Amino acid sequence: MTPDCGSGVWFAERAALVGTVAVITGGAGGLGSSIAVDLAANGVRVAVIDLDERAQ
């Protein structure tokens, strides 16, 4: 389960994010995963990349 970052807490201007693209490295777990989930919840297209095959 991914921790809830409180969607919108990170970003003051949600409208500025909608339609943008983010590439998250190390995003399969922990902080990277939380950031990816929060960005996606705010309308960002997200690509998650991680070398750790064991990460969830």
More confident residue, 52 or 44: 44
37-50: per-residue pLDDT in tens?
989 988 999 999 99
Two structure tokens written together for 26: 């190390």
Strands (E), 1-56: 21-25, 45-49
Radius of gyration of the chain (CA): 11
Q: Please give the pLDDT value at position 36.
A: 92
1-23: per-residue pLDDT in tens?
344 455 554 555 677 888 899 99
Q: How many CA atoms lie within 13 A of 27 on its CB side?
A: 15
21-40: per-residue pLDDT in tens?
999 998 888 899 899 998 99
* Alpha helices (H) along 1-56: 14-17, 30-41
Q: Please give the pLDDT value at position 2.
A: 43
